[in-house]
Structure 1
Amino acid sequence: MRSFTYARAESAADAVGRAGASGTAFVAGGTNLLDLMKADVLRPEGLVDISRLPLDRIEETAEGGLRLGALARNADTAYDERVQTRYPMLSMAILAGASAQLRNMATNGGNLLQRTRCYYFYDTATPCNKREPGSGCGAIGGVNRIHAILGASDRCIAVHPSDLCVALAALDAVVQVTGPDGERSIPFAEFHRLPGDRPEIDTTLQPGDLVTAIDLPARGFAEHSTYLKVRDRASYAFALVSVAAGLEMDGGTVRNARLALGGVAHKPWRDPEAEAALVGKPATPDSFRAAARVLLRDAKGHEHNSFKIDLAERAIVRALTEAAERKGAPRP
């Protein structure tokens, strides 16, 4: 690990001011950042410790939703009774990710900002446009079993690794940010970006921006929702495909639907056309399969990951079936 400067922020404004320096990064739980530093993948010149800022509360909002503090731990969020009861897919998604030890350290804000687990991104001896722009993409034409089938470019086919973010995408969360230009709200669909010709940029944050909270809307699909994660092994593995599904039902007919995929793109993948294809339809495998095919209509496999297209379709049908059959919020 290379040498770096360290400072502890006394306030959000202090953190933003300190992060204005080039090459400076925020650190809270550090469960991803410190690994990347030790592997010499990231080389920040300075760290600003934000772990003691008062951003760890989970609070009601005036609109009837919940505000998740950016520094609230993943475990505290997953086991919060309001999250379990009103946003069960979110609790399920968090508990599907990482180990209990990591969930006890990792923060909500940090989860949004975690980097891809692409083999080539982590291996500094191989080309990676995300790590070193212009060097090439080792995954294209290489070992790409875990890589993207949607939204990729000729510069990068990496996927976003978060479980939490897939549920937040389905819930239409809003990210609260403070930065050099003041405070602003970013709809979750606009927070992460596709690789295009700048795969080194994961989000729409500007230099010095600090995530302070994540707002959940009042609608949480508490009665009919689920989070399904398909992975190579049952414990502590990243998703090959994951699905966050939420339904509002009118008897056996879908009145409203939310659907987001993880493990398939550079960002959590949501398609309003696929959701619209479910509205007014009976909650049957045929309807769910039709919606899955709308969502996956532009999917493109590579040498080792074409199986993901069929896997994603089957996972969507299974997740929507589970959501339709579930009545009330499950307890972890």
Structure 2
Amino acid sequence: MKTFDYARADSPEAATREGGEKVRFIAGGTNLLDLMKLQVETPEKLIDITRLDLNEVEDTDEGGLRIGALVPNADLAAHPRVVKDYEVLSRALLAGASGQLRNKASTGGNLLQRTRCYYFYDTAVACNKREPGSGCPARDGFNRIHAVLGTSDKCIATHPGDMPVAMRALDAVIVTLKPDGDKRRISIHDFYRLPGDTPEIETVLESGELITHVELPAPPKGKQTYRKVRDRASYAFALVSVAAIVAVEDGKITNAQLGFGGLGPMPWRDATAEEMLVGKAPGKAAFEAAADALLADAQGFGSNDFKIPLARRTLIAVLRELTGVTA
């Protein structure tokens, strides 16, 4: 680990004033410290934000939730309102990492997790995300965990998170503070960036911009679940995951909100797949149409070809579970 300066912020405003291109905010540090040990991340300064007053979960006037960026994953998963009204989020949080890490990892940090691509973590090999212009050996290399949607010639890495997948299905809004004092409200649908020609730029955050809260709208109608398919039962990243909220009234699907993990470089959502469900009777035809829409542009790279049929089966299984359709 390279040497770095350290400072402790006493307010969000003070934290952002200290920010910069080679400065990182640190809360739980469950991802950042690993990256620093490997010298994938080499910040010149860390700003400790753990003592800021950003660790509350509060009801909003609109019936939703306002979640502080420092709320630990374990606390958020167990919060009574989350368990009662946002089951998909609680399930997603409990599916992530281990109990010890969930006790430490923060809500804001979880949104900013970086990929677990083997080549990104290995500084002895090329990686466009780590060193722009150096190449993407994953495309022709071992790519079992890599993306099948939203990739580019420069990068096929996946986003590793569980919580952000549920947050995307829930239409979360990310609240930030900029160094000039301006606040931003960013829809999670606009927060992440596709790799394109600049895979090193993963979000729309500006230099020194700090996530302070995440806001959820009023609870959506319908049943909720999160299903994570992985190589082992715990402490493993998703090969495919589905965050789903589905409502059925009078024999028709009236609401469908679907988030996907393990498939793309960001928590994935496909409006066309949801449109294939709304207004339709629950059953094989609607479910397969949604899967067809989701995977219409999917592309495997050899070792990860299996993800495409796996995503289809997982989505259909989740839709059957939530609608009670058995055939």
* TM-score range normalised by the length of the shorter chain: over 0.9
Q: Please list the CA deviations of residues 30-71 of structure 1 after superposition, one character each: whole Å capped at 9, or x if unmatched.
A: 000000000111100000000110000000011110011100
> 1:106 Cα shift?
0.1
Task: Output the CA distance in 2 between the equivalents of 1:95 and 1:220.
Answer: 20
Task: Output the CA distance in 1 between the equivalents of 2:189 and 2:219.
Answer: 17
Please, which runs of 5 or more residues in structure 2 have no aligned partner? Answer: none
> 1:308 Cα shift?
0.6
CA contact (8 A) 2:240 2:311 kept: yes
> 1:144 Cα shift?
0.4
The alignment partner of 2:130 has SS state of coil
Q: Does 1:242 align with 2:210?
A: no
User: Which deviates the most, 27-36 or 281-290?
Assistant: 281-290
Please, which runs of 5 or more residues in structure 1 have no aligned partner? Answer: 327-332
Q: Does 1:179 align with 2:178?
A: yes
The one-letter code matched in structure 1 to 2:217 is: P
- 1:85 matched residue in structure 2: 84
> 1:324 Cα shift?
2.1
> 1:276 Cα shift?
1.0
- 2:201 matched residue in structure 1: 201
The residue correspondences of 1:77-226 to structure 2 (distance < 5 A) are 77-181=76-180, 182-221=182-221, 223-226=222-225
- 2:313 matched residue in structure 1: 314
- 2:15 matched residue in structure 1: 15
Task: Output the CA distance in 1 between the equivalents of 2:17 and 2:153.
Answer: 36
The alignment partner of 2:211 has SS state of strand
Would you say how many aligned residue pairs link Structure 1 and Structure 2?
324
> 1:220 Cα shift?
3.2
> 1:283 Cα shift?
1.5
CA contact (8 A) 2:246 2:322 kept: yes
The alignment partner of 1:275 has SS state of helix
Q: Please list the CA deviations of residues 228-280 of structure 1 after superposition, one character each: whole Å capped at 9, or x if unmatched.
A: 10011111100000001101210432011111110011101111111111011
> 1:133 Cα shift?
0.6
Q: Please list the CA deviations of residues 189-247 of structure 1 after superposition, one character each: whole Å capped at 9, or x if unmatched.
A: 001111000000110100010000110000334x4111010011111100000001101
> 1:287 Cα shift?
1.3
Q: Does 1:279 align with 2:311?
A: no
The one-letter code matched in structure 2 to 1:189 is: H
Task: Output the CA distance in 2 between the equivalents of 1:46 and 1:138.
Answer: 31
Q: Does 1:254 align with 2:272?
A: no
Task: Output the CA distance in 2 between the equivalents of 1:105 and 1:220.
Answer: 29
Task: Output the CA distance in 2 between the equivalents of 1:65 and 1:271.
Answer: 23
Task: Output the CA distance in 1 between the equivalents of 2:276 and 2:292.
Answer: 10
When normalised by structure 2's length, the TM-score is 0.97
The one-letter code matched in structure 2 to 1:312 is: A
The one-letter code matched in structure 2 to 1:227 is: Y
- Taking only aligned residues, the RMSD between alpha carbons, in angstroms, comes to 1.1
When normalised by structure 1's length, the TM-score is 0.96
The one-letter code matched in structure 2 to 1:208 is: G
CA contact (8 A) 1:225 1:324 kept: no
The alignment partner of 2:144 has SS state of coil
> 1:168 Cα shift?
0.4
* Runs of 4+ residues deviating >6 angstroms: none
CA contact (8 A) 1:289 1:316 kept: no
The residue correspondences of 1:31-110 to structure 2 (distance < 5 A) are 31-110=30-109
The alignment partner of 2:61 has SS state of coil
Task: Output the CA distance in 1 between the equivalents of 2:284 and 2:33.
Answer: 44
Identity of aligned residues (%): 57
> 1:285 Cα shift?
3.0
The one-letter code matched in structure 2 to 1:68 is: I
